Amino acid sequence: MSRKQFNQGNIMDNIAIQVTNVEKVYKLYDKPSDRIVEALGFGRGKRHKEHHALKGVNLTVRQGECVGIIGTNGSGKSTILKIITGVVNPTRGEVTVNGRISALLELGAGFNMEYNGIENIYLNGTMIGFSEKEIDEKLDAILEFADIGAYVHQPVKTYSSGMFVRLAFAVAINIEPEILIVDEALSVGDVFFQAKCYHKFEEFKEMGKTIVFVSHDLSSISKYCDRVVLLNQGVKLGEGAPKKMIDIYKQVLVGQYAVPEEGESLLDDEELRRAAAGGRITAAEGAPERSAENGEKVGAASENPELLEYGSKKAVITEYYITDDKGARTSAILKGNSFAIHMNVRMQEDIQAPIFAFTIKNVRGTEITGTNTMFEKAFLEPVKAGEERHVTFTQKMSLQGGDYLLSLGVTGYENDDFTVYHRLYDALSLTVISDKDTVGFYDMDSAVEVR
């Protein structure tokens, strides 16, 4: 097991981080005395249980890439970042780093609580590897970014938690590293400071810095990352385009994806999609027929032939389509007009209270808007097996002109456990036609008066 820097002139100079077959095993003891007894060699047998935080993970990050790491709690996301930054050593495997790293992990971990803010800036900067002269040159930028005023001359033990993380973030983000490691650190402080953090993050990306980014904020992952790695229970399930990995992650969240056995080869994107759907429910194979009343296939032009679908199938979405303000089926809606999203659902079993939902995403996979019958308090009734329901969501189109993706779902709660009966990700394309676009995702339809 090792962690090393690339040598100058290495043939892999375009690689910033190389993680090779890394494993991390923690020993868990029932009580502190067991650790001492085992360390001294008293008694027979081991007194600990092994927790495998990472199981043979491989990862390559190239210079200038922004790579996201997602997964449920306990998947090993923070562990792999700590190994990359040298905070934790791997049990087995090798990590090689090419470039100076700044890590936004446990903010302020290297601060001395008795020192004031200025002293801690120099202490932290020195620990990262900067000279006093280099810190002098960056001091004004750090103080301006932290924006904690005269408190910078007081011991940090007197700081509020907000001031503490602002200063720690300012130190870490303003040293201009070659590699930036971020673990859920962009949402610190108040809303104005968060905006400043994201702006700095965008600056780093535009400068071509290498970034490894862990977050539960899937919108940020989709927006910033070139590639996403999905971890679950210490195993790398796969890596690929943000949208694909986020869709599979959502299946993991609701227990619709089986974790590969140890030593089992990883699946490629297509195999992941099939496995996540139980190997039997894709749009092209085995999906329920979706036909309009006239026998034509619904949404022939706008339906996604490679949609991702999964669920227990206790309820099945048999038909879905969009209509405009005149009731005509279409995939193109004029901005400012009303439109409706329809889906027919057949119950295969008795369901206590099905929840019908839709989500609209942009082409990068960022969820823009959506709702469901539970949010709207529109339907909270039991439904018997064999019954069907036609669900219609009607609303005004306020999105900016462009192309979007519509996802649909039927879910519910069984004994307080959230259950997915049927989900269709990116089932239909939706085009918004507009002659006036404003800033952002949607139009606030402002009334303007100038005097």
pLDDT of residue 277: 40
For the chain, domain boundaries: 2-99+178-230, 281-433
Phi-psi category of 81—alpha, beta or left, where left has phi over 0 and alpha has psi -120 to 50?
alpha
Rounded to an integer, what distance in angstroms lies between the CA atom of residue 24 and that of residue 91?
5
Q: List helix spans (H) across 314-409.
A: none
Q: Is 405 helix (H, G, I), strand (E, B) or coil?
A: strand
* % of the chain with per-residue pLDDT over 90: 46
Q: Is 427 helix (H, G, I), strand (E, B) or coil?
A: strand
* C-alpha distances out from residue 336 to 324, 396, 428, Å: 11, 6, 20
The tens digit of pLDDT for each residue in 158-197 reads: 998 888 888 888 888 887 788 988 887 666 667 778 778 8
Taking residues 401-428, what's their average pLDDT?
A: 93
* E strand residue ranges, 279-374: 308-310, 315-323, 332-334, 338-347, 355-362, 367-372
Q: Distance between the two ends of the chain, CA-based, in angstroms?
A: 71
CA-based radius of gyration for the chain? 26
Q: What's 281-433's CATH class? A: mainly beta
The tens digit of pLDDT for each residue in 89-111 reads: 999 999 999 988 877 776 666 78
Taking residues 335-364, what's their average pLDDT?
A: 95
pLDDT of residue 405: 93
The tens digit of pLDDT for each residue in 113-151 reads: 999 999 999 988 887 778 889 899 999 999 998 889 999
Question: Can you read off the two tokens belonging to residue 38?
Answer: 């085992």
pLDDT of residue 172: 80
2-99+178-230 belongs to CATH 3.20.20.140: no
Query: What is the bridge-based pairing of β-strands 417-433 and 332-334?
Result: parallel
